[in-house]
Structure 1
Amino acid sequence: MTSVSKRLLFGTAGVPLSTPASTTLAALDHVKNLGLDCLEVEFVKGVKMGNDTAGLIGKKAAALGIRLSVHAPYYINLNSAEQGTRLASQEHLVSSARLARILGARSLVFHGGYYGHDSPEMTYQSIKAALRNIVSILRSEQNPVTLRPETMGKKTQFGSLDEILALCREVDGLLPCFDFSHLHARERSENSYRHFHHVLRKIEKKLGEKAISDMHIHIAGILYGERGEIKHLDLQKSDFNFDAWLQALRDVGAAGMVICESPNLETDALMLKDLYGSYRMKS
């Protein structure tokens, strides 16, 4: 298991587009050659990786100094009206966390689920109970992987900033995955340095300094409407104020992983890393 970073590390959600062979093993060499720092291993379409492959990837990532995280399947819904789906969702998270451990990944990102016909409070309680059970299973196995519920971009999805902060306060073994593009699409809030700085200080106040010094962040440009997120865009084709956002992260001393989910993946990841580096030189 890798140690906590003392700065922001930049990488891609899955295999970079320019990787010669579209495998995670090949991606590690390419991430290193590009000058990026980390990679999120995507189980978004299912947990299909074998333990032996995960072990090889983990050893190679450690040798190259590439940090890994894992994203659990998109179809997880811990608040489904169907009991079978709820139980299967818990199993998908547990199996993802077991592979994350073999990979040497410290964090497992996931989407909590949908409100459906339930109130936000009922949804919150349902997801909280499920996660307490999952964390209990993982800790009984001495699995140290941190579960990271993600802030979500659609208003039909569980995952407002306040919901995620409350969940991480009440359930041991959780830290957030902050998708700032999702928050921008969902909340339509002020897109400025002042706002980003306020959000980061709110995070620190609610969860403590660790939530700033050990962040896991998703970022992309985003197209949105009245119901929130529509689709991801390249950062420079969107209205997201990534310049002010990066400056706010620098000024609060944020550290951890920044995973780029823009359609152009490594292009935006490298742009952000270069921009962040220029800010650090000035500070």
Structure 2
Amino acid sequence: MPEKKPAPKKALQKAGPKALVPKKKAPRRGRAASAGGEPGERTYTGVPKPNPAPGKPDRLLFGTGGTPHTALPRDHPGAVRRLGELGLGVYEMEFVHGVRIRPETCEEVDRLRRETGIQVTAHGPYYINLFSLEEEKLAASRTRVLDTARALARCGGDGACFHAGFYQGRGRDEVYAHMKRELSALADALRAEGCNVRIDPETTGKESQFGSLDELTRLAREAGRGNLGITVDFSHIHARSNGGFNTYEEFGRILETIRERNGKTALQNMHIHLSGIAYGEKGEKHHLDVDESDMNYRDLLRALIDMGCEGRVVCESPGLEFDALILQRAYRELNGG
């Protein structure tokens, strides 16, 4: 990725949120994941090496969404142990097809989390749709969000992310009002049962999905009571706009919008997703490794540093720990460490 000269920090902080409209330019497409052009064909061999220790403490921790390729055994405890060996800092448990984790596994994850210093988050099942028009599916979606948060709490983690749902041809104001009621009720239910996990609906990669940055920052401001936040997936924001939001200045506007709407503390406990991504006119197609995508991660990291951001960066690239180490190394280089 070619180097770009960053705008002065002062200029970035004065930019304000403005209208979150990407810079006008010719659309750019993410490249294929492999020579065959399909995700999942690439194999990952070799042993990744930990990065040198930073010269100063990391304010952003990096890790994987899912079990690292080199974890043995390839389960949740093995993932936490392996990420600790690699000097990474975050593990996001992927409950893709359902929240299935035994109590004894939760206890082991919690123990290993304490031993290694790894922070644990979770991604809820992909079947969640809190705007389903079928009551049975809506009830099941509520249960999946709650179960994700409960399992994460038993593991000693925080930050349960999920895709909230789809517009399904309805007006965006109608869907927003419905989502506000649903997410407020879920946050209240968790608080009432003593579950302190924050639920973090994720910015989504397609226009057909609820979850623009505007919608989620509004939700966190209007419905949040301390346990409703946001997962900011910068790759999804880039894909949703068909190649926009990929410059230092645009990343700065995103962060400034979050700060103005949700407060400075929202930048001090961020839940971030980052990967390479393939996209088109309808938005996200699939994830890519960062070196096979046009995702401008170095300028994003610069903006995060300049805005004083802290929190967790979960890498969802197919390469998982290989890319998480690339991102961590770039962050430390840019951060002077």
TM class by shorter chain equals over 0.9
1:259 to 289, 314, 317: 314
1:69, 1:100 within 8 Å by CA — same for their partners in 2? Answer: yes
Higher relative contact order (CA 8 A, sep 6+): 2
- Cα deviation, 1:35-77, whole Å, max 9, x if unaligned, reads 1111001112101112221122111111111110011111100
| 2:328 partner amino acid | K
Q: Verify: 1:199 aligned to 2:251, yes or no.
A: no
Q: Deviations over 1:218-260 (max 9, x none)?
A: 0010110110001111111111111111000010011000000
SS in 2 for 1:223: strand
Q: TM-score, normalised by structure 1?
A: 0.95
* Residue 233 of structure 2 is aligned to residue 183 of structure 1: no
Q: Specify which of 183, 186, 197 is matched with residue 145 of structure 1.
A: 197
SS of the aligned residue for 2:209 comes to: coil
Q: How far did 1:165 drift?
A: 0.6
Moved over 3 A (4+): none
Give the counterpart of 2:179 among 127, 151, 155.
127
Name the SS of the counterpart of 1:281 in structure 2.
coil
The residue aligned with 1:268 is: 323
Q: Runs of 5+ in structure 1 lacking a partner?
A: none
C-alpha distance in structure 2 between counterparts of 1:22 and 1:56, whole Å:
14
The one-letter code sitting in structure 2 at the alignment partner of 1:14 is G
Preserved CA contact (<8 Å) 2:237 2:245: no
2:219 to 156, 160, 167: 167
Match of 1:155 in 2: 207
Tell me if the contact between 2:207 and 2:282 (Cα under 8 Å) persists in the aligned partners.
yes
Matches within 5 A, 1:22-171: 22-171=74-223
State the TM-score, normalizing by the size of structure 2: 0.80
CA distance in 2, matches of 1:236, 1:252: 25
For residues 185-216 of structure 1, the C-alpha deviation after alignment (integer angstroms, 9 at most, x for no partner) is: 00232421111112111110111011100000
Distance in 2 of aligned mates of 1:191 and 1:219: 12
Q: Which residue of 1 aligns with 2:20?
A: none
SS in 1 for 2:84: helix
- Counterpart for residue 27 of structure 2: none
The number of equivalent residue pairs is 278
How many angstroms apart in 2 are the aligned matches of 1:190 and 1:181?
A: 9
- Rounded to whole Å, the distance in 2 between the matches of 1:262 and 1:94 is 26
**TM-fit CA distance, 1:24:** 1.0
Structure number with the higher helix fraction is: 1
Displacement after TM superposition at 1:15 (Å): 0.6
Deviations 1:69-109 (A, max 9, x none): 01111110000111111111111111111111111111100
1:220 to 275, 280, 286: 275
Question: Which among 14, 20, 45 is matched to residue 66 of structure 2?
Answer: 14
Partner of 1:281: 336
Structure 1 Cα separation of the partners of residues 156 and 72 of structure 2: 24
Output the CA distance in 1 between the equivalents of 2:186 and 2:286. Answer: 30
Q: Indicate if the aligned counterparts of 2:153 and 2:197 stay in contact, CA closer than 8 A.
A: yes
Instruction: Give CA deviations for 1:139-189 in whole Å, capped at 9, x if unaligned.
Output: 111111000010000111001110111111111221110000000000232
- 2:296 equivalent in structure 1: 241
Q: Is the deviation greater in 46-55 or in 66-75?
A: 46-55
Distance 2:272 2:326 in 1: 16
Paired AA for residue 87 in structure 1: A
Give aligned-pair identity as a percent: 40
Rounded to whole Å, the distance in 2 between the matches of 1:131 and 1:196 is: 27
CA distance in 1, matches of 2:245, 2:328: 24
1:69 partner SS: strand
- Corresponding residue of 1:229: 284
Structure with higher Rg: it is: 2
Q: Given residue 201 of structure 1, which amino acid in structure 2 is its aligned partner? A: E
Unaligned runs of 5+ in 2: 1-56
